[in-house]
Chains A and B, each alone.
Chain A
Amino acid sequence: MNSDVIIFVVYLLVLLGIGLYFSRKASLSSESYLLGGREVGPAVTALTMQSTSMSGFMFLGGPALAFQHGWFAIFYAIGDAGGGIINLSVLGKRMRRMSELFGALSPIEYLEKRYESAAIRVIGSVIATIFLFAYVFAQFLAAGKALESLTGWKYEWAVIIGVGIIVIYTVAGGYLAVVWTDFFQALVMLLGVALLVIVGLFYVGGISGLNASMGEVDTSYLSIWGKDYVYYGQWGVILGSSLIYMIGYMGLPHVVVRHMSMKSTKTVKTATLWTTVYNQLFAYAPYLLGFMGIVLLPNLSDPEMVIPTLAYTFFPGIFAALILSAVMAAIMSTSDSILMQAGTILSRDVYQRFIDKNASQDRLILVSRLSILLAGVIGVVVAVVQPPKVFDLVIFAFGTMGNAFLVPYVAAVYWKKANKVGVLCAMLTGSITNVLWETFSWQDGTGFHPFLAGLLVSIIAMIIGNQFGKPPSESVQKVFDETTLARQMPKHIAQNANREIGPEARTISEFIKTNSLVKE
């Protein structure tokens, strides 16, 4: 076993130790209920959330695109960073407010309640599952490559072993999920990336030196049109590249667990702001490293190996192995979460709703496990037989997701009469257009990014389809009015309001109106 493999194994053991320590500590604590405590602040929460998004894409896909196309790749980073800002802005606020009023726990449940249609939930779940599996396949590819660099094993074996480990521990019991393992991971990776960028900038003479050197290699790297000006004048591609990340994140079917405190609490600001700050800091780093690869690694045959190769170039083997171990562990953790989400969606929203309404808990677990195993097998076959690029797969996944959900989300809060027929048309045509555009490479002939094409088709389908559906019920229209009516609320009060008690506030509001309870 070479020393890098030993470092990787030790790293995983450290994670295991942290997980075990905090799991046992939480279990033994008699003061409060299990899972009920909230011992970390918003900054730590945000950093751990960031570690979930720091997946194979950040370390392999993003740098590879930058390495191949130069500054054109930055549009994806702008979209990535901008996604957080949109989340904080008007659209994000309206969506959060409406979601609170409906008491929805996930974005798909929110759509189901807004448009009063179980079909939307099912179709949304199927699209989300496809996205999640495509995304996890990208993680599998990344896992194979990271393990290949770490161990020197043949790629095919690295994929089989890497995916095997991920699937077995997901199905058998799951990763040790404590906030502190995620926190430790995030810290190692962020420090690793920051060090790589700092040392790299030192090597290339800062941003100006980097640009000068890139220009010497090929001036088209400095343009916004891609290497050899391949996308010259294609604003549809540029716009699509920026929008895809900005929008794709909205559809992620994450679940928010509501928490009710039995004791007084300090008002804790949401972690959203912190996440946005981290995102602004780190969204650009992988692309910068890709640019450095153009200058420092001119003979690199596999663009996805930019970060691993730079790590071994800049640092002694032990540090590089440590960073790669963190990358591999992050890929494992991200894959584990996504596989579980996809398995749960398939078992609850598809199997239980359509195949066996009275399915027991055990049966649902079995369905989840089987679907994860199947995903693992398909993932290995795809990764070994005809591996797509990590970047392409992630972009395909985000594109499908964004095209399915952007129009329904925006219409939910900006179009009172938007109904389920319009939304179903938008979801189906948007996602199908994206798949067809990608499959038949229509971008080359039209100059339209698949995401932008899907978006336009989705908007048209929404407008036409909406003419054939019934208007939303009175109660939904009422929620719409409450969501869109600007509340005259002082800034400090609005900023510190606690969204978790939104459903209670709505009920109380109706109660005091009905009972004329507020004394003059």
Chain B
Amino acid sequence: MRVQSEQIVFTDNEIKKRLEQLDKNNNYEVKNVLYYPYLVYEYLVDRKGFFHPLQGNIGCTIDGVNKIGAVVDFFPELKETDIQDEIIIQSKTTLVEAECSAKEFLHETIAKKKKIFTVPELKDARQEMFYRPYWIVEGETKVGETFLITVDAVSGKFHPL
């Protein structure tokens, strides 16, 4: 399947090395990579008020499966890539369907972080569905017990499975 995806920043070897540095007692083996769906929305805001100037771009992603929003710092660097279907998690929503959630999420985020009621108009800039690579890593303790964790191959964040 040909999709827009982010490129792997942390290779399997780097991940193994980082985890083994963090947890010297156990061994880690990178098993596989998966591609997770996100929808990214970028908007332009232009609020000139003296007390609450807010001018520039603002963006968020909506998790394609759980439909949860997250603010982002940059528009992702994407590349059209061929990825095997079996390692892609399919999105349960589309760009059009999730746009409402994206705008609502950003309105709430602006109101909360800037403590303002009248949220400025969000002007569409760009939007895209993309896939982010996640490593599946197996850890093995000295007594042979195994456990799995997933590592975001772009940011390096990880979470137990």
Interface residues of A (CB under 8 A from B): 20, 23-24, 27-30, 32-38, 103, 105, 171, 173-177, 255, 257-267, 336-337, 340, 343-344, 361, 365, 368-369, 487-490, 492-494, 496-509, 511-512, 515, 517-519
How far apart are A357's CB and chain B's nearest CB, in angstroms?
14
Interface centre among B23, B117, B138 (most CB of A within 10 A): B117
Q: Are B116 and A504 in contact (CB under 8 A)?
A: no
Q: Chain A residues near B74: list those with CB within 8 A.
A: 32-33, 36, 262-263
CA–CA, A4 and B103, complex, Å = 45
CA–CA, A368 and B51, complex, Å = 20
Mind listing 8 A-B residue pairs with CB under 8 Å?
Answer: A37-B73, A174-B52, A262-B73, A365-B118, A492-B22, A500-B157, A512-B136, A519-B31
Q: Chain B residues near A37: list those with CB within 8 A.
A: 73
Q: Are A34 and B56 in contact (CB under 8 A)?
A: yes
Interface set, chain B 128-158, CB cutoff 8 A to A = 134, 136, 138-139, 141, 145, 147-150, 152, 154-158
Q: Which residue of A lies closest to B113 (CB)?
A: A35
In addition to A32-B73, A260-B70, A511-B34, 16 A-B residue pairs with Cβ atoms within 8 Å of each other are A36-B71, A37-B73, A176-B52, A177-B113, A260-B61, A263-B73, A488-B147, A493-B23, A498-B159, A501-B150, A505-B161, A509-B161, A512-B34, A512-B161, A517-B87, A518-B136
Q: Are B22 and A508 in contact (CB under 8 A)?
A: no
Q: Chain B residues near A518: list those with CB within 8 A.
A: 31-32, 136, 138, 148
CA–CA, A508 and B73, complex, Å = 24
Q: Which residue of B lies closest to A497 (CB)?
A: B159
A177, A258, A496, A517: the one within 8 Å of B68 (CB): A258
Q: A27-B56, A264-B154 are in contact. Are A365 and B71 (CB under 8 A)?
A: no
Q: Are A258 and B69 in contact (CB under 8 A)?
A: yes
Q: Which residue of A lies closest to B90 (CB)?
A: A511
Q: Are A262 and B36 in contact (CB under 8 A)?
A: no
How far apart are A481's CB and chain B's nearest CB, in angstroms?
14
Q: Are B159 and A255 in contact (CB under 8 A)?
A: no
Q: Are B72 and A33 in contact (CB under 8 A)?
A: yes
Q: Are A33 and B71 in contact (CB under 8 A)?
A: yes
Q: Are A260 and B161 in contact (CB under 8 A)?
A: no
Interface of B is mostly: mixed
How far apart are A414's CB and chain B's nearest CB, in angstroms?
21
Q: Are A498 and B56 in contact (CB under 8 A)?
A: no
Of all A-B residue pairs in the complex, the 7 with the closest CB atoms, nearest first, are A36-B73, A174-B115, A498-B157, A260-B70, A258-B70, A505-B159, A177-B115
- Binary contact track B83-123/A, C-beta < 8 Å → 1, others 0: 00011010000000000000000011111111111110000
Q: Which residue of A lies closest to B47 (CB)?
A: A27
Q: Which residue of A lies closest to B61 (CB)?
A: A260
Q: Which residue of A lies closest to B28 (CB)?
A: A493
CA–CA, A506 and B160, complex, Å = 9
Q: Chain B residues near A489: list those with CB within 8 A.
A: 147, 149, 160
A28, A32, A487, A507: the one within 8 Å of B89 (CB): A507
Q: Are A508 and B161 in contact (CB under 8 A)?
A: yes
Q: Which residue of B lies closest to A265 (CB)?
A: B155
B26, B57, B134, B152: the one within 8 Å of A490 (CB): B26
Q: Which residue of A lies closest to B10 (CB)?
A: A264
- Binary contact track B6-50/A, C-beta < 8 Å → 1, others 0: 100110000000010011011000011010101000100100010
Q: Which residue of B lies closest to A336 (CB)?
A: B115
How far apart are B20's CB and chain A's nearest CB, in angstroms?
11
A30, A174, A501, A511: the one within 8 Å of B56 (CB): A30
Q: Are B114 and A174 in contact (CB under 8 A)?
A: yes
Q: Which residue of A lies closest to B22 (CB)?
A: A492
